[in-house]
Structure 1
């Protein structure tokens, strides 16, 4: 998995990040009309609310920025973010370093595709960007540059990071 390679081989982190960015660009280039699964904002919000209402959200697993927050605090803060125009692509849905298979510095596959579907590209960008943060801001910046993001939409990023807290 990519996380294991990143931890064990600091000397190839740049190459791995470049390979991940190239893989994600290819995934996001799949025509949305060819994907039968919908995972857009409305769908994900409904699923998140169901998880909240049935007590299936693990508050102990919240990111450091939301440590000590209640589920309802995250929900309200997320919904209070400014609205944004969606940029629909075919997304993995849980694009973490744990879900990417790496061999010899190349992405050879991905696992845990249960949330795959058409959604805003920041669904994947936010989750990966967050994971790369464990290795420092230089790798995060490299990923964005290699993927082709000239300027991060911080509100979209925050929205998708908070949305991910519910899953």
Structure 2
């Protein structure tokens, strides 16, 4: 079992610490910024053990490839990672948010996918969605406004009827929303919340980034980010398809 920074191996607290919750986002996981009395800070995330193990594996694979947190320790249901500098892009100016979202996606998608052990392709994600719908894990009240009133079963049926995706894949973030990109001084300083990362079609990331930009900066933000949209991700039916899939997560 991993030894967490604020505990001895026998569970005795070494130094007092305070926890500040990080509330942004819809994830069921609980995330805290922990500050020890000597000023050392790190992030602790609690949630299902299997999901945290997967996220830790992704971060370790991304180390040296992307500006992601360092995994400090992991035990059943609790992941400790380094705190990266900066604030998330919801706190940036619209121009900064647009520029750094595009930069982050280009950076992520340029990571060589050869040998990547993490798959997030359509078949994988659809299988996960089927499991979530079958087990009643989908929050239908959280659907986008355009889908309110629909059932998870109805959305799943539409997704299952979709034709095959264009044959294009790369390493992707999987939840490319503004809160998951950090900035300080106008620079991209961090990419976080990587539990859904893996090899997939890049339109998945652009679809969620455009929606997040609209949610945080309105139609102007979405319009500006669309100017950065690669041609192979510009098909509106493709973008809608990935937004619809995300409703089930």
Short-chain TM bin: 0.7 to 0.9
SS in 1 for 2:114: helix
Q: Quick check: which one's strand share is greater? A: 2
Q: Per the alignment, in what secondary structure is the counterpart of residue 136 of structure 1?
A: helix
Alignment of 1:64-103 (within 5 A): 64-103=145-184
Asked if 1:144 is matched to 2:226, the reply is: yes
1:158 matched to 2:240? The reply is: yes
**TM-score when normalising by structure 1:** 0.88
Instruction: Count residues with an aligned counterpart.
Output: 161
| Higher-helix-fraction structure | 1
2:131 paired with 1:50: yes
TM superposition shift of 1:150: 8.0
Which SS does the other structure have where 2:120 is aligned?
A: coil
CA distance in 1, matches of 2:230, 2:127: 31
8 A contact 2:90–2:179 mirrored in 1: yes
Q: Extract unaligned runs of 5+ from structure 1.
A: 6-11
* TM-score under structure 2 length normalisation: 0.60
Measured in 2, the distance between the counterparts of 1:102 and 1:58 equals 30
**Partner SS for 1:72:** helix
State the 1:103 CA deviation: 1.3
Higher mean alpha-carbon deviation, 80-89 vs 130-139, is at 80-89
List runs of 5+ in structure 2 lacking aligned partners: 1-87
CA distance in 1, matches of 2:239, 2:207: 5
Q: Higher relative CO (CA 8 A, sep ≥ 6), structure 1 or 2?
A: 1
Deviates more, 1:24-33 or 1:76-85: 76-85
Question: 1:86 offset after TM fit, Å?
Answer: 3.7
Partner of 1:13: 94
In structure 1, what is the Cα distance between the partners aligned to 2:223 and 2:127? 32
